[in-house]
Structure 1
Amino acid sequence: MRKATAVALSPSVANLLAAQRMLDLEEPLVKSKKYPFFKTPRIGSRRIRNRLVQKQGICNISLKNVPKQRRKYFSDIFTTVIEMKWRWCLLYFSLSFLISWTFFASLYYSIGKHHGDVDNRFNASWTPCIVNVHSEINAFLFSFTTQTTIGYGFR
């Protein structure tokens, strides 16, 4: 254990420390209840530095007067998805899956319709191009099971 030692301060150093304490006790330059990350420094404490992103998730950066901000925001889709709220991100991914399933369902249905699978579904001697794609719903189910790799089975 260290022994406590007394240090004698010269008057100039004592005045400097007293002036620093007075600066610490003065009103902060920025007073805001909206942004809790501006804190008043305590006596004898180090300068409090603001974080870039607070523990609560509040960003300490605001973009203002950026030309074509919308275009730049959506040009980088990775950063856009990272900065989205989770609700919008979930909606974005759900819609992208639904659009993909619907697109391929319409593609499978048009192939089946063009090949004649829809018209000849009750003909036992007909060999279908895509099995069990007789309607739009069946084509959607086929698209869903193909893309999610669930497996086809039999209906």
Structure 2
Amino acid sequence: CQTPFPYPVVQRSPMTAQSFRGDSAWSRPAQQRQRYVTKMGKCQVNLGRIQEKKRFLSDIFTTIVDLKYRWFLFVFMMCYIITWVVFGIIYFFDAWIRDDISHIGDPEWKPCIENVDNFISALLFSVESQRTIGYGSRIVTANCTEGVILLMAQSIVGSMIDALMVGCMFVKISRPKKRAQTLIFSKKCVVSHRDEKLCLMFRIGDLRDSHMVDAKIRAKLIKSRQTKEGEFIPLEQSELNLGYDTGEDRLFLVEPQIICHVINDHSPFWEMTADSLKREQFEIIVILEGIVEATGMTCQARTSYIEDEILWGCRFEPCMTLEKGAFRVDYSRFEKTFEVQTPATSAKEMHELTEMEHQDQDQPLTVMVEEMSPPQLV
């Protein structure tokens, strides 16, 4: 995608609030709007104009593992093919220099490598030597020192390639990326009251019977803002508290769970109403991390929610029932919500209104106590 999230930037000019808040990105429909993270968890950030690309070669193992499968298989095959061809050329060149090719079948000639009379036979000997096949028709004799040295060198190089490529293949196959496909998030967020507090909630679930160990959930709010000094920050990240201080962010993810963010005075949604929510431009990125029980590797699943994917005044329907002595999860109801009575005002206004009601209830009692005489008080 050529347009960064979520605003178009004027080329060859300093980034300002005016250039970043173009009318093309936000005037698009919600389904066409550029996300920072897709619903499937893929980060929509393209890195370009990297000057020091040699940094990738310093960590060649991670670079190879991060390749796509088609390029990984290409590198895997080329490592072996190039090695076979290079040593095949060296073996053929050695036989040609020693004039072994011209004395094929001569019983009195002592060749360095027996039965190497052309490049194809030298290539076959290279493959047989590195893969320790040893068909027996082509062998290195004790008549030349260079043949023994070449064989030792190829054995060492072949072992190094095996260690690198087999290790990369094992890590590539066992990476827990696919495990994240069975960790699902609700497509919508809901805003409603829970325990007399306005909360932002979404649902997560695990489709596998092998559960995540030490699962943790966290959320980031991506939103642009302008500082008091006039500096424009296009993609500022702020943390959404999902129960870090109480330990509620650590999950025992056996059944689908509803994750709750309490909208209090520390929340960025403290002054946001139902109407202002539709006019805001932000993105909530949810990150679920845990250890895969089968492999012991760390797995991470991500998703995102934009302002159009937040339902004000709704709750999630329960999806658990008790059947035959066990709990049953009905994932067909995972996304279903129902409307509840929720004021359209912000959490701040609700809090101020509650404080005013408490003050009004306490004021008549205070006046009554002040008007009472000391004898009556006794």
TM interval, shorter chain, is 0.5 to 0.7
Aligned-residue RMSD, C-alpha: 2.5
Alignment partner of 1:124 is 2:124: no
Q: TM-score, normalised by structure 2?
A: 0.25
Aligned residue pairs: how many? Answer: 105
Q: Which residue of 1 aligns with 2:120?
A: 137
1:95 is matched with: 78
> Structure 1 residues 85-94 or 116-125, which shifts more?
116-125
- TM superposition score normalised by structure 1: 0.58
Q: CA deviation at 1:138?
A: 0.1
Whichever residue aligns with residue 117 of structure 1, its letter is D
Gaps of 5+ in 2: 1-29, 139-378
8 Å CA contact 2:84, 2:126 repeated in 1? yes
- Residue 153 (structure 2) pairs with residue 153 (structure 1): no
Q: Which amino acid aligns with 2:39?
A: P
Is 1:115 paired with 2:118?
Answer: no
Which residue of structure 2 lines up, in the alignment, with residue 83 of structure 1?
66
Identify, as 1 or 2, the structure richer in strand: 2
Deviation at 1:112, TM superposition (A): 1.0
- Over 3 Å counting, the alpha-carbon distance change for 1:148 and 1:72 in structure 2 is same
| Cα distance in 2, alignment partners of residues 95 and 137 from structure 1 | 18
**Is residue 120–residue 126 contact of structure 1 (8 Å, CA) maintained in 2?**
yes
Unpaired runs of at least 5, structure 1: 1-30, 38-53
Q: 1:36 matched to which residue of 2?
A: 39
Q: Give distance in 2, aligned partners of 1:106 and 1:65.
A: 40
SS for the counterpart of 2:135 is coil
Structure number with the bigger relative contact order (C-alpha 8 A, sep ≥ 6) is: 2
Within-5 A mapping of 1:4-83: 35-36=38-39, 54=41, 58=42, 60=43, 62=45, 64=47, 67-68=50-51, 70-83=53-66
Return the structure number with greater helix share: 1
Listed one character per residue, the Cα deviations across residues 60-91 of structure 1 (whole Å, up to 9, x for unaligned) are 48464674263333442111111100110110
Cα pair distance change 1:62/1:69, threshold 3 Å = farther
Q: CA deviation at 1:123?
A: 1.8
Letter in 2 for 1:36: K
Contact 2:64-2:72 at 8 Å conserved across structures: yes
